[in-house]
Amino acid sequence: MSIAIMTSGGDAAGMNPAVKRFVDYSLQKGLKPYLIYDGLVGLLDGKIVEADKHAVSGILFRGGTVLRSSRSQRFREPEYRQKAYEELEKRGITKLIVVGGDGSFNAARVMCHEADIAVAGIPATIDNDIPCTDYCLGVDTALNVIREAIDGIRDTAASFRRTFVIETMGRDCGYLAAMSALTSGAEVCLIPEVPYDMNGITARLNAEITAGRLYSIAVVAEGVLEGRKLAEVLERETGMEARLTILGHIQRGGSPTVIDRRLAFEFAHTAVDALLDGEKSFVTVTKSLEVGIKNIDEVLSTKHVLDPYICKMVSTLCH
């Protein structure tokens, strides 16, 4: 039996461990594993290669995705999707694992509905915005990258009596910013899910500065307010010099943490087993550290909501 894996959408640490476990476990189960390079574009163009253990040797500790990724406008057209199905059919591939986010899962669902292909989604996005799962691949690594950056910034902030604004990724989901602010002891945090009161924030900071505060750290998700604007407001209203650090794509990189490696292994293992058990269309998920599966239609029809407890904890930093 032939089975394939691809990575799609934004890269995330943990993708490579998932690919490695997929190949190793597929071979262990007597399957013929294939690797699809360059995401949906590679699927359309037939960049599909049979894999052995050597193909995934030495990738466990690497960030990003050795399979590379892409986004494809061509895949939106039925005639091109038919070509993708033909590429899979000629290799006897009837089961496919897609590692990515909701856009990638939508593509996977279309393939399952249009062709005789069983699809499994493995959630991988540093935004942690896939419904029905507590964690996605790449989140823990990204949080550790941000933590290290903030810890370093705090040293220079204290040395020069400055406010530092750190802008994280998270256009529609504030998980990275919220968890980074809470675990780094930031004084301010702005996320899409919680309304903020700038007058309240500046009044609080001014009171703390009067009481002896020498510096402050503010974390803002990119989807709420430009970090530059927040820095300007804080400097103007508190009189403390402000500097901005935009972390950008550094948050996607880095060697996967132990948590991301473990989760990648469990997701890949679970996906292969479920496909062999006859499941046709699902996403691997984890709840309270237990890994399972959810129907892909249920996942894609559910609106992601940031944990209310996290919102409650971070609300004191928004006012």
pLDDT digits (tens, 9 = 90+) for 50-103: 999 999 999 999 999 999 998 888 999 999 999 999 999 999 999 999 999 999
Judged against a pLDDT cut of 90, whether residue 297 lies above it is answered with yes
319 is a domain residue: no
CA distance 54 to 74: 32
Q: Do residues 156 and 32 both lie within one domain?
A: no
67 is a domain residue: yes
Judged against a pLDDT cut of 90, whether residue 314 lies above it is answered with yes
Q: Do residues 178 and 102 both lie within one domain?
A: no
Q: Do residues 150 and 224 both lie within one domain?
A: yes
Task: Please tell me the number of Cα atoms within 13 Å of 89 on its side-chain side.
Answer: 9
Judged against a pLDDT cut of 90, whether residue 116 lies above it is answered with no
Judged against a pLDDT cut of 90, whether residue 132 lies above it is answered with yes
Q: Do residues 126 and 150 both lie within one domain?
A: no
pLDDT recorded at residue 137 = 98
Q: Do residues 132 and 261 both lie within one domain?
A: yes
230 is a domain residue: yes
| Dihedral sign computed on CA atoms, order 266, 267, 270, 272 | negative
CA distance 68 to 314: 36
The string of pLDDT tens digits covering residues 167-223 is 999 989 999 999 999 999 999 999 999 999 999 999 999 999 999 999 999 999 998
Q: Do residues 45 and 193 both lie within one domain?
A: no
Both tokens of 29, joined, read 């189960």
Q: Do residues 18 and 123 both lie within one domain?
A: yes
CA distance 317 to 87: 52
Phi, psi of 233 (to 5 degrees): -65, -45
Predicted confidence band of residue 289 (pLDDT cuts 50, 70, 90): confident
Strands 281-287 and 290-295: antiparallel
Confirm if 297 and 280 have CB atoms less than 8 A apart: no
CATH number for the domain harbouring residue 211: 3.40.50.460
pLDDT recorded at residue 227 = 94
CA distance 227 to 185: 18
Mean pLDDT across 286-290:
88
Q: Residues with catalytic annotation?
A: 127
Alpha helix (H) residue ranges in the chain: 15-28, 39-44, 78-89, 102-114, 139-160, 175-184, 198-210, 227-238, 258-276, 296-301, 308-315
pLDDT more than 70, % of the chain? 100
314 is a domain residue: no
Neighbouring residues of 289: CB distance < 8 A, sequence distance ≥ 6: 134
Predicted TM-score (pTM) of this structure? 0.94
pLDDT more than 90, % of the chain? 95
Average pLDDT of the chain is 95
Both tokens of 162, joined, read 């400055």
Number of domains in the chain: 2
Domain containing 124 equals 2-138+256-303
Judged against a pLDDT cut of 90, whether residue 256 lies above it is answered with yes
222 is a domain residue: yes
CA distance 188 to 233: 13
